[in-house]
């Protein structure tokens, strides 16, 4: 935002870890700096954009490539509805949870959610516990405060998720969240670096209000991402079906 890559150090850490898991030799000096990304974007536009850094493994004797692409910021919905779906990835296959893979299966899951009248899907593990949305991490508000699914290698630990876990003014803890327990929770939102925080208003047959605690975090994150300025809600009461 404002010419500075948002949460760039966290993205670099995730890129390096992904390369390590995939056995890609990625020397630190090959990773673009924040200044280089700013120069790349400003050579094309002064608007905020989404930048993607791509890395290839190369082949013996030939170093892979590192390059950048940029696209306009996506249109972000003011809120999302989620339909449950089971993960296509078995536990222990950590390389399949990286952003590099699983696009095809996740696109299929998203289409199934669309066909059922939802915006996207909320993925459950084989035991029926909540993991993440298709392209975002998820948070719920309980009687004891904010909770988010515990990282166990089964999903992508997002940069905004980590930013919230480390810096949020409202404490957040990791927990195992069974699908059956979601009906006891009062607020929910998802996070991604493209959208910041996006409230969730429905999960399967459970409806959520965009309440006080969610709006607190929207106001807190607003100075670091203009995307949050799109969200202006009246406090609503959660309705259980």
Tell me: the pLDDT tens digits for 150-184? Answer: 876 667 778 999 999 999 999 999 999 999 999 99
CA 234 to chain centroid: 25
Encode pLDDT of 13-50 as tens digits. 988 888 888 888 899 899 999 999 999 999 998 888 88
Query: Looking at 72, 95, 128, which one is the last position of a domain?
Result: 72
Residue 94 and residue 67 share a domain: no
Query: Looking at 72, 93, 114, which one is the last position of a domain?
Result: 72
Residue 206 and residue 93 share a domain: yes
**Number of domains within the chain:** 2
Encode pLDDT of 40-80 as tens digits. 999 998 888 889 898 988 888 888 899 999 988 888 889 99
pLDDT computed for residue 72 by the predictor? 87
Residue 225's pLDDT band (cuts 50, 70, 90): low
Residue 115 and residue 133 share a domain: yes
Query: Looking at 40, 72, 104, which one is the last position of a domain?
Result: 72
Full domain range(s) for residue 30: 8-72
Pick the closest to residue 182 from 109, 124, 110 (CA basis).
124
pLDDT computed for residue 48 by the predictor? 85
| Overall pTM surpassing 0.75 (yes/no) | yes
Residue 214, Ramachandran bin (φ over 0: left; ψ between -120 and 50: alpha; else beta)? alpha
Residue 15 and residue 113 share a domain: no
Instruction: Please say whether the beta carbons of 230 and 173 come within 8 A.
Output: no
């Amino acid at each position: 935002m404002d010419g500075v890559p948002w949460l760039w150090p966290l993205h670099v850490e995730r890129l390096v870890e992904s390369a390590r898991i995939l056995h890609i030799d990625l020397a630190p000096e090959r990773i673009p700096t924040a200044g280089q990304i700013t120069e790349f974007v400003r050579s094309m536009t002064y608007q905020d954009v989404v930048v993607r850094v791509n890395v290839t493994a190369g082949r013996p004797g030939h170093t892979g490539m590192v390059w950048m692409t940029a696209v306009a910021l996506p249109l972000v919905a003011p809120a999302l509805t989620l339909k449950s779906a089971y993960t296509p990835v078995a536990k222990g296959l950590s390389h399949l949870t990286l952003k590099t893979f699983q696009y095809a299966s996740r696109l299929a899951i998203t289409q199934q959610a669309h066909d059922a009248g939802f915006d996207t899907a909320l993925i459950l593990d084989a035991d029926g516990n909540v993991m993440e949305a298709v392209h975002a991490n998820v948070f719920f508000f309980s009687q004891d405060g904010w909770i988010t699914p515990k990282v166990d290698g089964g999903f992508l630990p997002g940069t905004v998720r980590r930013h919230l876990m480390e810096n949020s003014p409202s404490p957040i803890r990791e927990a195992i969240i069974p699908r059956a327990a979601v009906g006891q929770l009062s607020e929910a939102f998802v996070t991604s670096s493209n959208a910041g925080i996006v409230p969730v208003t429905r999960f399967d047959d459970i409806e959520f209000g965009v309440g006080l605690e969610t709006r607190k975090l929207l106001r807190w994150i607003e100075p670091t991402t203009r995307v949050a300025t799109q969200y202006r809600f009246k406090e609503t009461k959660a309705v259980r079906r």
